[in-house]
Amino acid sequence: MLSHPVSLRTPPPDWPDAHASAFHEVGGIRWHVQRQGDGPTLLLVHGAGGSTHSWAGCTAALAPHFHIVSLDLPGHGYTHVPADVERRRNPYALSGMARAVGEVLTALGERPVVAAGHSAGLSVLLRMTVDGLMTPQRLVGFCPALIAPPAWYVAFVAPLLGFLVESGPVADGAARLASGTRLVEQMLASTGSRLTEAQRARYRALCATPEHVHAALTMMSRWDLPALRRDLGSLRASVHLVAARGDRWIPVGPLERAARGMPGMTWQVEDGGHLLPEERPEVVTQTLVDIERQLQERR
């Protein structure tokens, strides 16, 4: 069973890929970044409420093929955003988050050839690419959150987002609720994915921390997908999307309709739920290794 301090400042020894963890202060944010493996640079970005652990089942198999850069988004996991930096930089809005991730990549000298995002992570990568903050050859989205969530999800989360999510008491209360009830278990079950006890324990640990809850709620409340979709006409990288048949958060049909017209878009559908990288990491690994081989053949 994982154990954590009240504030997630340092990953415990049993956190996935803790051996690869390092901390870097860039733009006033204390970033948790994991780097490992050799080859072309692959950037992995988790979705709202996730962390580097989202890719835990994939990294060992990907490391022989890529130099992997995985990070916790602002306020998530072990990346800490001071309150004054949040007020000044708005790092939970899509454009602000994209800018912040671009800054840390520049500071570390990392230039991704392939960038993969889970759920809202792909939106961050698309925004970064459209805004010229990175120039990957290929973008990959696993269960990408490119559509509005289903009505039942909005009804469930909207009451939380209706509060002033920037305030500490809301995040504290949500964290206490997550710790003292089956809320986290219910949310995980609603994704359509089947996770192990160890995987569920990681989410329980993260969601018991006010800063992580605050970041996830604020991120969802400030997401501007319509503006992103309007700007995708200028996208210069090809995009490969992987949908999951059992995804109850991002259903296959609406996602496919929303993705039509994206430049260079290719598409595949796999069995599984919304947390596909954790539920079926072999799909992520094979997809990315195949893409790396395709890029090699073109060189």
- pLDDT of amino acid 185: 85
Task: Name which residue leads in pLDDT, 153 or 189.
Answer: 189
Give the residue among 253, 246, 236 at the shortest CA–CA distance from 270: 246
Give the residue among 158, 24, 144 at the shortest CA–CA distance from 79: 24
Task: Name which residue leads in pLDDT, 235 or 163.
Answer: 235
Average confidence score pLDDT of the chain = 87
- Number of domain units in the chain: 1
Instruction: Please check whether residue 76 lies inside any domain of the structure.
Output: yes
Instruction: Please check whether residue 104 lies inside any domain of the structure.
Output: yes
Task: Indicate if the pLDDT at residue 192 is higher than 60.
Answer: yes
- pLDDT of amino acid 261: 76
- pLDDT of amino acid 8: 59
Give the residue among 99, 214, 117 at the shortest CA–CA distance from 163: 214
Task: Indicate if the pLDDT at residue 172 is higher than 80.
Answer: no
Q: Show Cβ contacts of residue 150 under 8 Å, excluding neighbours closer than 6 positions.
A: 248, 249, 251
Task: Indicate if the pLDDT at residue 163 is higher than 90.
Answer: no
Mean pLDDT along residues 141-149 = 89
Give the residue among 203, 257, 238, 271 at the shortest CA–CA distance from 48: 203
Task: Indicate if the pLDDT at residue 254 is higher than 80.
Answer: yes
Tell me the CATH number at 133.
3.40.50.1820
- pLDDT of amino acid 159: 47
Could you read off the pLDDT of 213-242 as tens digits, one per residue? Answer: 889 888 887 888 889 988 988 898 899 999
Mean pLDDT along residues 29-54 = 97
Task: Indicate if the pLDDT at residue 9 is higher than 90.
Answer: no
Task: Name which residue leads in pLDDT, 270 or 156.
Answer: 270
Mean pLDDT along residues 238-260 = 93
Instruction: Please check whether residue 212 lies inside any domain of the structure.
Output: no
CA-CA distances (angstroms) from residue 131 to 55, 95, 98, 145? 26, 9, 9, 19
Report the distance separating Cα 250 and Cα 149, nearest Å. 7
H helices of the chain, in order, are 59-62, 83-89, 94-108, 120-130, 151-161, 168-180, 183-190, 197-207, 210-221, 225-231, 252-259, 276-279, 281-298
Could you read off the pLDDT of 44-93 as tens digits, one per residue? Answer: 999 999 999 999 999 999 999 999 999 999 999 999 999 999 999 999 99
Q: Show Cβ contacts of residue 91 under 8 Å, excluding neighbours closer than 6 positions.
A: 29, 74, 75, 81, 85, 97, 99, 100
Instruction: Please check whether residue 62 lies inside any domain of the structure.
Output: yes
Task: Indicate if the pLDDT at residue 298 is higher than 50.
Answer: yes
Q: Tell me the residue range of the domain where 63 lies.
A: 18-149+223-298
Task: Name which residue leads in pLDDT, 54 or 296.
Answer: 54
Instruction: Please check whether residue 7 lies inside any domain of the structure.
Output: no
Task: Indicate if the pLDDT at residue 179 is higher than 70.
Answer: no
Contact 92/222 with Cβ under 8 angstroms?
yes
Could you read off the pLDDT of 281-294 as tens digits, one per residue? Answer: 999 999 999 999 99
Share of the chain above pLDDT 90, in %: 65
**Structural Rg of the chain based on CA atoms:** 18
Task: Name which residue leads in pLDDT, 229 or 141.
Answer: 141
Mean pLDDT along residues 96-120 = 98
Task: Indicate if the pLDDT at residue 141 is higher than 90.
Answer: yes
Instruction: Please check whether residue 201 lies inside any domain of the structure.
Output: no
Instruction: Please check whether residue 4 lies inside any domain of the structure.
Output: no
- pLDDT of amino acid 183: 72
Helix (H, G, I), strand (E, B) or coil at 191: coil
Tokens linked to 104: 């840390």
Instruction: Please check whether residue 160 lies inside any domain of the structure.
Output: no
Query: Going by DSSP bridges, is the β-strand pair 114-118/67-71 parallel, antiparallel, or unpaired?
Result: unpaired
